[in-house]
């Protein structure tokens, strides 16, 4: 581990020298590449430098204890030594986590698709609430949310909604939300006061960069244009601005109508199709790597029940890590960091154990 860290320190110094060279500043592509690489390894380098500083403090204190005779001074050194040893241990653990292989998609924007499952209107109502939960969470992190497609029902629910979240590191956190979300509560329409169970599915897909090659032959896609439809307002146009893409090999259908321009809707539809096909390919690779799948949390089977929201008891339970929080109102208002931080920590721990096997 430490050989690798020393190599990274040398690389960091090389990048710093290169960035100060006049010819690099004039080459914007090279400059951006170096800046990104430097940004990626800076946390590692800074943590390692702090680790070495604390390690040196431990060694200095041990030497001082061998020579120091004054008892009061020895007690002060012992206190500092104890703190430095604890710091060294914590920093070593942090370095191990920082050295874990990174998901190449972690820094990307995401496309999220929520669909009502079992439970009829109650599932659609819950889908709309989960959509709002993610919007609030995105706003708390200053991420931008853009709705791509949706279908509402008359009582305020959503059969489905697809939206994009633009923000640094969006995928690194929201990828843990893929799966089946279950709600247990008494529906407003239930006169007998019985608790019903409904489900929705959430799929989180990374936005696909333009430089990633995804082969979509023209013959595999049918493009239809039509007038937008909806419950009124800006969703209804008088021109053929809505676009529907049908991908024959997979059966995926993309419908985009949120923009007034057909060109803009077509661009959104193609971007979503690319992300869905990329996501399918990632799922295939993931399924083929059984060991990897068992060692990771949150990027597995989309049919997996991952979380239950029990309103009568005010609790939210994430089944993957057996975490229960009695703060359902806060969670539904977008306070997801407690759950997501725990999932990230569990995922990192599982990967560390996998490396040690």
d(CA 119, CA 112): 21
d(CA 258, CA 241): 9
**pLDDT tens, position by position, 69-95:** 889 999 999 999 999 999 999 999 889
Q: How do 305-310 and 315-318 pair as beta strands? A: antiparallel
Bridge partners, 200 (sequence order) = 116, 181
Domains of the chain by start residue, with CATH: 2-98 (no CATH), 110-350 (3.30.70.1660)
pTM of the model: 0.75
105 pLDDT more than 80: yes
**pLDDT tens, position by position, 165-205:** 999 899 999 999 999 999 999 987 666 678 899 999 999 99
Residue with tokens 């012992």: 78
| H-only helix segments in the chain | 2-19, 22-25, 28-67, 71-98, 121-140, 170-174, 262-288, 290-295, 328-332, 337-356
**pLDDT tens, position by position, 309-336:** 999 999 999 999 999 999 999 999 999 9
Query: What is the rounded average pLDDT of the residues 145-163?
Result: 90
d(CA 89, CA 338): 24
User: Quick one: pLDDT at residue 45?
Assistant: 93
The pair of structure tokens assigned to 166 is: 């633009």
User: Quick one: pLDDT at residue 302?
Assistant: 57
Q: What is the DSSP letter of 327?
A: -
User: Quick one: pLDDT at residue 325?
Assistant: 96
User: Quick one: pLDDT at residue 267?
Assistant: 86
Residue with tokens 């597995």: 300
User: Quick one: pLDDT at residue 162?
Assistant: 92
* 142 touches 167 (CB < 8 A): yes
3-state secondary structure (DSSP) of residue 17: helix
Query: What is the rounded average pLDDT of the residues 228-256?
Result: 73
**pLDDT tens, position by position, 261-299:** 888 888 888 888 888 888 888 777 766 655 544 545 554
């Amino acid at each position: 581990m430490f050989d690798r860290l020393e190599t990274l320190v040398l690389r960091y110094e090389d990048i710093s020298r290169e960035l100060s060279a006049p010819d690099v500043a004039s080459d914007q592509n090279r400059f951006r590449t170096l800046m990104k690489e430097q940004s990626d390894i800076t946390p590692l380098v800074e943590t390692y430098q702090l680790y070495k500083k604390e390690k040196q403090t431990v060694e200095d204190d041990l030497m001082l204890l061998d020579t120091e005779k004054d008892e009061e001074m020895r007690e002060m050194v012992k206190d500092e030594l104890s703190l430095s040893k604890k710091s060294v241990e914590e920093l070593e653990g942090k370095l191990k986590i920082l050295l874990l292989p990174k998901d190449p998609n972690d820094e990307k924007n995401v496309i999220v698709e929520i669909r009502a499952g079992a439970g009829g209107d109650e599932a659609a109502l819950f889908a709309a609430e989960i959509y709002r939960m993610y919007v609030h969470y995105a706003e708390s992190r200053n991420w931008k949310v853009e709705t791509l497609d949706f279908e509402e029902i008359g009582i305020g629910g959503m059969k489905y909604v697809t939206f994009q979240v633009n923000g640094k590191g969006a995928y690194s956190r929201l990828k843990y939300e893929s799966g089946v979300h279950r709600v247990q509560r008494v529906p407003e329409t239930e006169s007998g006061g019985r608790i019903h169970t409904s489900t929705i599915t959430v799929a989180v897909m990374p936005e696909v960069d333009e430089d990633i090659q995804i082969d979509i032959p023209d013959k595999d896609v049918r493009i239809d244009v039509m007038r937008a439809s909806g419950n009124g307002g800006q969703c209804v146009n008088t021109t053929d601005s809505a676009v529907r893409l049908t991908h024959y090999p997979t059966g995926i259908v993309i419908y985009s109508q949120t923009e007034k321009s057909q060109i803009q809707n077509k661009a959104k539809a193609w971007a979503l199709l690319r992300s869905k096909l990329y996501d399918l390919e990632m799922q295939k690779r993931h399924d083929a790597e059984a060991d990897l799948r068992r060692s990771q949390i949150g990027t597995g089977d989309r049919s997996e029940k991952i979380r239950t929201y029990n309103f009568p008891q005010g609790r939210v339970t994430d089944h993957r890590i057996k975490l229960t929080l009695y703060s359902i109102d806060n969670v539904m208002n977008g306070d997801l960091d407690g759950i997501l931080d725990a999932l990230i920590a569990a995922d990192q721990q599982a990967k560390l154990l996998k490396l040690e096997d």
